Structure 1
Amino acid sequence: MILKKYYIYGALSLAVFSCAPRQEINYMKDIENIALDNSIKNSRSTLQPGDQLVIIVSAKDLDVVKPFNQNYSSTATVAQYSIPSGNAQFQPIPTSGPIYLVDTDGNIDFPQIGLVETKGENIETLKTKLAGLISTYVKSPVVDVKLINFKVSVLGEVAKPGTYVIPDGNTTLLQTLGLAGDLTAFGVRNNILIVRNVDGKFTQQRIDITSAQFINSPYYYLKQNDMIYVQPNTVREKSARVDPNTGLYISVASVIASIALGVLALTRN
């Protein structure tokens, strides 16, 4: 009976402790209690110097808008990439059209109009702004704007660290971590660092993805050139400080010790 009682206690203890680590790696455990009111506002990234934009103007009469599509070549394409599902590889999506570079002052040089300021604008507001400027010359113009060089970097304890190009510049922290193959078992999930550069000013934020509270953070939706760093846990840090050749050294020392003992035993005989 005593052994049976200890067996039951041991089984219960094992069940309790085996469940604990699983809770530490769950994401957004309280998501049902969190409102997403701010998510749409935070998803709209403002344009930054160095952004490359494909802008195409269309209307009922395409001949009328030709002056606004200068330098357009139907054979020129820009490689974008679709977000893969599962283990699928990135698939190129050809995007054609005239390319405009946002200069260091936050302007683009647009045909027939001249310099157009983009500072503080996002893709949607720039469409509206350009349509308003072009409507002086063209009735009911339609403007399509694509950001073709939006990229973020993921470093640290993820399966596939690297820099990722995101189509249309719309991605969340979780989606990007998914592109990087998710965190490894050694990644710290409640202290992920995001470094951001907006208009030349660097900011940083620590994010806890085990809580859904971060959905309302301005760092839930990523911005151009964001850098994500997943910190290793103490187990990984300790293992990194250990010389990888330690096992070899111990094996060699054991062999030398065995030989020395053998020689010593022979000399005594």
Structure 2
Amino acid sequence: MIKNIIKAFLLIYLVSSCTSQKQLVYLQDVDSLTTENVYFRQQVDYKIQNQDILYIRILSIDDRTNDLINVASTRYQQNLFQNETSLFINGYSVDNSGNVELPIIGKVFVLNKTVEEAKDAIREKTDQYLRNASVIVKLISFKFTVLGEVNRPGVYKNFNNQLTVLEAIGMAGDISDYGNRTRILVIRPTKNETRTYRIDLTKKDVLSSEGFFLLPNDIVYVEPIKSKTFRINIPTLSLFLSTLTTLILVLNFIK
């Protein structure tokens, strides 16, 4: 009887602990025999919101004018992106009215504009004071969160103009052995509502999904596989089986 219990336990353990290669592979249905595959992108241009922080530099041929206009002097530029404090102090925050206020230039309305549209608006205002000035605008408050079954869950920052869910998961150390690649949830909070996108990273359709490209403040949640609970409880089950086996041996000895 004891041997049968042990065999049954070992069989359950082996079945539940095995992870097939199919569960680990991304984009499984992409044609491996075709050298090039084309998928239409569903990238959404982010619109600047209140409290966003922008990096803005206005450059002219006059160095003295540059120092007056730009809030961060040259000695601070190399440390600007190293921590959140530097970003907050040296960046330009979008106020509740949707404006950023620049030295000499004054207020510029950027709310609900893309970064490129904000750049054009700032350049138009700058042309009233400077000729042939170059304007650089970047969104530096692009943060996102990765939760669930990844190796390094947490809040991350992105300094590129775009970010895919695969890149976000890569920054979080990839999906763990307990992660379900077919059940990824992208949560997108906006000013008036919250949208969700359910995506399957094993299917090529994810490349055309609206949730494939992330926006600032998005949350990526990776669900666990169904067998995770059993795997976690294996030590407890092993202890229970050991105790049960000992008890049966003692009872047999007493008899």
Fold conserved between structures, TM > 0.5: yes
Matches within 5 A, 1:1-269: 21-28=20-27, 29-30=29-30, 33-36=37-40, 38=41, 42=43, 44-69=45-70, 71-76=71-76, 77-80=79-82, 98-240=90-232, 242=233, 244-262=235-253, 264-265=254-255
Q: Over residues 111-136 of structure 1, what are the superposed CA-to-partner deviations in whole Å (9 max), with x where a residue is unaligned?
A: 23433222222222211211111001
- Per the normalisation by structure 2, the TM-score is 0.76
CA separation in 2, counterparts of 1:180 and 1:22? 21
- Cα deviation for residue 187 of structure 1 reads 2.2
User: Which stretch has the larger CA shift, 161-170 or 123-132?
Assistant: 161-170
In the alignment, the residues of structure 2 paired with residue 250 and residue 97 of structure 1 have an alpha-carbon distance, to the nearest angstrom, of: 60
SS of residue in 2 equivalent to 1:153: strand
For the structure 1 residues 127 and 193, does the alpha-carbon distance in structure 2 shift closer, same or farther, using more than 3 Å as the test?
A: same
Q: Give the drift of 1:23.
A: 4.1
Partner deviation per Cα, 1:145-191 (whole Å, 9 max, x = no partner): 23223211111122222221112353211111111222233322222
Check whether the contact 1:34–1:212 (CA below 8 A) recurs between aligned residues: no
| Cα distance in 2 for residues equivalent to 1:199 and 1:182 | 30
Distance 1:233 1:97, change over 3 A: closer
User: Which moves more between the two structures, 242-251 or 205-214?
Assistant: 242-251
Cα distance per residue 1:17-66 (max 9 Å; x no partner): xxx94445433333755433x45xx2642223332222111012233344
Moved more, 247-256 or 133-142: 247-256
Q: What number of residue pairs does the alignment pair up?
A: 228
1:212 Cα offset (Å): 2.4
Work out whether residues 108 and 121 of structure 2, in 8 Å CA contact, stay in contact via their aligned partners in 1.
Answer: no
Amino acid at match of 2:190: V
Structure 2 residue aligned with 1:8: none
How far apart, CA to CA, are the structure 1 residues paired with 2:99 and 2:87?
Answer: 22
3-state SS in 2 of match to 1:154: strand
**Alignment partners' CA distance in 2, 1:220 and 1:58:** 35
Equivalent AA in structure 1 for residue 48 of structure 2: L
Shift of 1:208: 1.7
Q: Where do 5+ consecutive residues of structure 1 fail to align?
A: 1-19, 82-93
1:207 is displaced (CA, Å) by: 1.0
Could you tell me the TM-score, scaled by structure 1's length? 0.72
Unaligned runs of 5+ residues in structure 2 are 1-18
Q: Distance in 1 between matches of 2:104 and 2:210?
A: 37
Indicate conservation of the 8 Å contact 1:55/1:97, yes or no.
Answer: no
